[in-house]
């Protein structure tokens, strides 16, 4: 965004909050939505690629080359079938603990 737009908001007496909400966000809205969509698509694509390569097995691997599962692939594969609140909460807890 051009700095003149932001500076004009400050020059008119706007607070930082007003400049961000009324000038900056409307100006970058389309770009921000596009960036979020690209980021989510990339994350999901990498998760599925790792899921296919690693084997998607929920057993404890007995060797280095045995099939396994990652936290991201477990969430991606099971979230659609999570019907009970406990199952959904467990998957959400998995996601929040991995970051």
pLDDT digits (tens, 9 = 90+) for 68-98: 888 888 888 888 888 999 999 999 998 887 5
Distance of CA 39 to the CA centre of its chain: 7
Task: Evaluate if residue 99 carries a pLDDT over 70.
Answer: no
51 pLDDT band (50/70/90 cuts)?
confident
Helix (H, G, I), strand (E, B) or coil at 81: coil
- Domain ranges in the chain are 1-45, 47-99
What is 12-30 written as a DSSP string? TT--HHHHIIIIIHHHHHH
Question: What mean pLDDT do residues 32-60 have?
Answer: 89
């Amino acid at each position: 965004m051009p700095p003149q737009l932001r500076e004009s908001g400050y020059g008119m007496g706007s607070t930082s909050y007003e400049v961000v909400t009324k000038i900056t966000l409307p100006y970058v809205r389309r770009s921000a939505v596009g960036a979020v969509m690209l980021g989510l698509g990339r994350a999901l694509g990498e998760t599925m690629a790792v899921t296919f390569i690693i084997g998607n097995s929920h057993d404890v691997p007995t060797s280095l080359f045995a099939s396994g599962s990652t936290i991201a692939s477990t969430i991606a594969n099971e979230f659609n079938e999570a019907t009970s609140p406990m199952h959904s909460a467990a998957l959400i807890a998995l996601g929040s603990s991995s970051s």
